[in-house]
Chains A and B, each alone.
Chain A
Amino acid sequence: MVELINVNKSFKTRKGMKHVLKDISFTAEPGEIYGLLGPNGAGKTTTLRIIATLLKADSGEVWVDGLNAGVEDRKIRDKVGLLTGDMKLSGNLSPREMLKFFADLNHIPKEMSKRRIEELSEYLDMNEFLDRSIAKLSAGMKQKTSIAVSIVHDPEIIIFDEPTSSLDVLAVKVVVDFLHDASKRGKTVLLSTHVLSEAEKLCTKIGIILEGELIMNGTKDEILTTYESSSLEDVFFALAKERGLII
C-alpha cells in the first residue's frame, strides 16, 4: 500500500522557489491501479519520484508498504519497481544480461536471479529474444524488456511514469496487459499519464493533479457522479477551465 499525507515539495529555480506539490494526500491499495492524471508540469512525475525515494518531500508523510520514505529509503527501494516512459533501452547487451545487471543492482543472489529471469521471460513471453542484442529488438520487445527490468526484484509496488508515451499501439498493449495482470496479482500499481482515455480504461482509482494540487481523488464512478458527467475527459476539462488553465 502507498499512502501520502499532506506532501509538499518545492524546487529552487532562477526565479526563486517553485512550489510544485501542495498538500498532496492519497492512498493506493494492493490490487488497485491508481492513475495520476494531469498535464505536463502538473507534478505527476515529482509525486512518483518521491514515492520511489528519488526525491524527498519537504513536508508531509509518505508511507510505502508500511515503510517511512525519507527514513527507510533502501528498504522501500526493495519494494518498488520504477519504469519511466522516456527510458529507451539500447546498447549491445541482451535482455538476459540487462536483467542480470539489474538483479545484481538489487543484490539478488545468483541462483535466484537466474530463476527470476527465466520466470519473467516466460511471463512476458521473452524467450524468443532473451539472448538477442537489445539494439536489434522491436519497440514491443524493448518495452517488455523495460518492464522486466523494473520488476526483476518482484516489487510489491509498481510505479510507471508515463509508460506509454512515445510507444506504438502494439507496445502500448504490452504495458496495458501487464498492468492489468499486476493488479490481479495483488500488486499496488501507480501510474501517471496525460492520456485520459487510457486512464479511464485502466485505472481503478484516479487522482487529478493540476498545478501541484490534487483536486480530485476517488474511483472513476465517484468522480463521474460528483461532476455529473459521462466521461473523465469532460471532468478534466471542466476542472481545468475552473482553474483558468483553458478558456
Chain B
Amino acid sequence: MIKDALIILRKELKNILKDRRTLIATLLVPFLLMPIIFTGMSFVERKQRSSAEDTIYPVMIMHNEAPEFLDILSGKLNFTLTKEPGDDVLVVEFPEGYIPGDTAKAIIHFNSTSKKSSFAASMISSALVEYSAYLADSYLDDYGIDLQSIYTISVFKLDTAPEEAQGAEFLLVMVPYMILIYVFAGAMAVGIDATAGEKERGSLAVILVNQVSRTSIAIGKILYAVTVGVVSSCMTFCGFILAIKISGGMFGESVNLSGFSFGSLLVILITLVMTSTIAASIIILLGSLAKTAKEASTYILPIYFIVIILGVLTMNMDPSSNQLLFLIPFLNTVFMLKGAIISNSTMLQLVMLIVSDTVLIALLVYSTSRLYNSEKILNTIS
C-alpha cells in the first residue's frame, strides 16, 4: 500500500520540483520572509534612532538658567537654546521665581506625534532626574551626608530561566503562531490542487482506473501535502532563527539562540511532522469533498481561521497547570514548540502530543480512504 502511495507522492513532488514559482512560494518565501521583515524593521528602527540622536533640537528653558542643568542636558541631547516658543521647540518649564534647590514641578512641553520630539522629551526627562539628584547631593553635602548612603537597598534582578530561554519571550509568542500558520498555508495550495484541482482537470477518474488501491491514492496525496507542509514550516522556523540572528538586539539584547540542543530540535521536528500531517489530512479530506478548488478553499478557510485564533489565544497561555492541554491537537503544537524553544518540554508531553495527534490523523486518513473507496468521490466530480 505504501509502495503504491509513494508512486503518487513521487509524481506530485516531481511536478512541484519543476515549478519554479511553487518552489519559491513553498521554500524560499517562508525562509526569507521573516529575515526580510525583521531586517527591515531593525533597519528602520536604527535609522530613526540615529536620526533622532543626530538632530539638533531647539529647547526653551523657562525660569531656570542654572548652568549645571545645561551641562547635564548637553551630555544627553544635541540642542540649541531659544527664547521664542514654536511648533518644533521643546519647552522645559520651571515654576516662576524658581531657585535651584526649591521643591518644584518641571513641565516638559513636547509633541507626542513626533518620534523625534518624544525622544528629546525622554532625554530631557532623564536630564531632569539627574539634575534633581545633583541638587539633592549638593544639599546633603552641606550636612556631610553622601546621597548614596541614603539608599539602603539596591535592587538587582537575577533571571533564573534557562540560559537559552532568557530574552526569548518574543520567540515564544511568535514562532509557534507563525509556524502553525505556515503548516496550513504550505499544505493548503498543494492539497487543494491534488484533490479538487484533480477533479477540475478531469484526471481523477482516470487515475482511479488502475491497479493501485484507492486507499493508496488517498495516502499518497496526504503524504504529498504533509511533505510540503513540513518543509514549509521547517523553512519558516529556520527563517525565524536567521531573522533573530541578523536583527540581534532588536528583540532584547539577551536573546540567546546560539544553538538548540539535539533533543529540542528533535521535539520541534516531531511536532512539525505531527501537525503537518493533521493539517494535510484535513485539507485532503475537505479538498476531496469539494467539486472545485474554489469550493475546497471555502471548506478549508474556516478551519484555517480557527487555527489562527487558537494560535492567538494561546500566545500567553501557560499549560504547566493543566497537562491535559497537550491532548488537544494544534493547541499542543503551540505548547510543545514553546517548551522546545526553552528546553522545557517533557517526555510525557511529547507522548501525549504524539498519541492524541495520531488518533486524529488515523480518523482523518480513515475518513479520506472511505471517501475514495465510495462512489461519493465520483459523484462530486463536476
Binding site for B on A (CB under 8 A): 11, 49, 52-56, 74, 77-78, 80-93, 97, 101-102, 104-107, 133, 149-150, 153
Contact = CB atoms under 8 A, between A and B. Distances in A.
Contacts of A93: 11, 14-15, 18
A137 B4 CA distance: 29
Interface in B342-382: 375, 378-379
Given A91-B15, A93-B11, A49 B205 contact: yes
A105 B12 CA distance: 13
Contacts of B211: 74, 77-78, 105-107
Interface residues of B, number: 21
Contacts of A80: 209
Contacts of A82: 205-206, 209
A92 B19 CA distance: 7
A105 B378 CA distance: 19
B7 A105 contact: yes
Contact of A11 (B4, B212, B379): B379
Contacts of A54: 205, 208-209, 375, 378
Given A53-B209, A83-B206, A88 B201 contact: yes
A167 to B, nearest CB: 13
10 contacts: A53-B209, A54-B375, A82-B206, A88-B202, A91-B19, A93-B15, A97-B11, A105-B4, A105-B7, A153-B210
Contacts of B379: 11
The 10 closest A-B pairs by CB, nearest first: A86-B202, A92-B18, A87-B202, A105-B210, A107-B211, A101-B11, A104-B7, A82-B209, A88-B201, A106-B210
Interface string B185-204: 00000000000000001110
A52 B207 CA distance: 12
A153 B379 CA distance: 26
B203 A55 contact: no
Interface in B1-47: 4, 7, 11, 14-15, 18-19
Contacts of B7: 101, 104-105
A101 B220 CA distance: 13
Interface of B: 4, 7, 11, 14-15, 18-19, 201-203, 205-212, 375, 378-379
A109 to B, nearest CB: 12
Contact of A90 (B201, B375, B378): B201
A201 B14 CA distance: 41
A55 to B, nearest CB: 6
Contacts of A91: 15, 19
A106 B18 CA distance: 24
Nearest to A150: B206
Contacts of A56: 375
A53 B19 CA distance: 34
Nearest to A53: B209
A107 B7 CA distance: 10
A87 B204 CA distance: 9
A74 B373 CA distance: 13
A6 B201 CA distance: 33
Contacts of B210: 77, 102, 105-106, 153
A78 B207 CA distance: 13
A149 B206 contact: yes
Contacts of A97: 11, 14
A154 to B, nearest CB: 13
B212 A84 contact: no
Contacts of B205: 49, 52, 54, 82, 84, 87
B138 to A, nearest CB: 80
Contacts of B202: 84-88
Contacts of A78: 211
A91 B206 CA distance: 16
B379 to A, nearest CB: 7
Contact of A77 (B19, B201, B209): B209
Q: Which of B7, B18, B207, B209 has the most CB of A within 10 A?
A: B209
Contacts of B375: 54-56
A32 B53 CA distance: 90
A98 to B, nearest CB: 8
A89 B201 contact: yes
A107 to B, nearest CB: 4
Nearest to A146: B206
Contacts of A86: 202
A220 B7 CA distance: 44
A90 B193 CA distance: 12
A83 B19 CA distance: 26
A54 B19 CA distance: 31
A81 B210 CA distance: 9
Given A54-B378, A55-B375, A90-B201, A105 B212 contact: yes
Contacts of B209: 52-54, 77, 80-82
Contacts of A53: 209
A74 B208 CA distance: 11
A83 B203 CA distance: 9
A19 to B, nearest CB: 15
A78 B210 CA distance: 7
A133 B378 CA distance: 28
A149 B11 CA distance: 14
Contacts of B19: 91-92
Given A52-B209, A84-B202, A102-B206, 11 more contacts: A49-B205, A54-B205, A54-B378, A55-B378, A56-B375, A77-B211, A82-B209, A87-B202, A87-B206, A92-B19, A106-B211
Contact of A84 (B4, B15, B206): B206
Nearest to B381: A86
A2 to B, nearest CB: 14
Contacts of B18: 92-93, 133
A79 to B, nearest CB: 10
